[in-house]
Structure 1
């Protein structure tokens, strides 16, 4: 018996599933990048993991939402594969944007949730797309740490990924009070000039993965 861990309850859909609607987490990637979409059931809604669910006879199935319909996903392995509780897009494309539903079921039990994925092309002359930036805010003279978000999937064993930082898509000689701390950038005393777009970059299986954060200074 699986225990629900979410504070609220889902509703019963027409297919007899407990439907948690759309998870709050949004996945974002630039075209050509790898991205992993995890079935949120195992992270926010039930107190079990994929292996335990399998051992109790539950099957995990994936669908892509097309309007009001959910179409089963055919995994090509070349560009997109199913790996345990996730879909791996090995090279995401803009057409991959949309909602993906994972369904955990057997003959007597069914639960599902949808996740949102946005894939966008770089804007002309830039290394990011402003639609999929992260946002941070800071006041002048305050201490601010800018993380390189959603990079856990690209770690190799226990090693921290080798991250390179850019500002406005260009390499920068940081002044002495800006230091790289692990895969984050620490500004020990924020100045007005520190506002702007910070991009962290790493290599994963021969591909570049970038995350851009806009820092607004007030």
Structure 2
């Protein structure tokens, strides 16, 4: 039950503060009971607010689930800066690889499993596949490489930025393992990403 003190706190929260509290509560629900166990009632209770406040921002449980996962992922994302594109790309891939076998990765796997029986959730997952903070991180790596003279400005492209993570996800799907061998990550960077980036400088 929500205490009188919590109700008083909830009434004082507005805007971004309330939204952040709801997302944190939903992310904690995803970690503890999974997407199938997460309900608007449970999130409202954990966030010390009411369901109307949630529905005004996220019209459905799938929408809240995806938003909560992205909130969790964004909070833990770190953009490496090793001084080279190779070093940055390997560091970001290794971090993503570690995340897949972490509690955060377990949340994503849970969402993917639930999407098989919930079309709305599957649609949202597909829509969120692009434009994420991870995509932005890869674009940042390419922008830095271009600024250092390692890459042409034409290499700073969303399609180029999406390649490493698409290949990593493919490895998960094909191998069925919670973690991809480090030599495969190195191959993705050295045999695919770097030649692709260098090739963008070649004019037809």
- What TM-score do the two structures reach when normalised by structure 2? 0.29
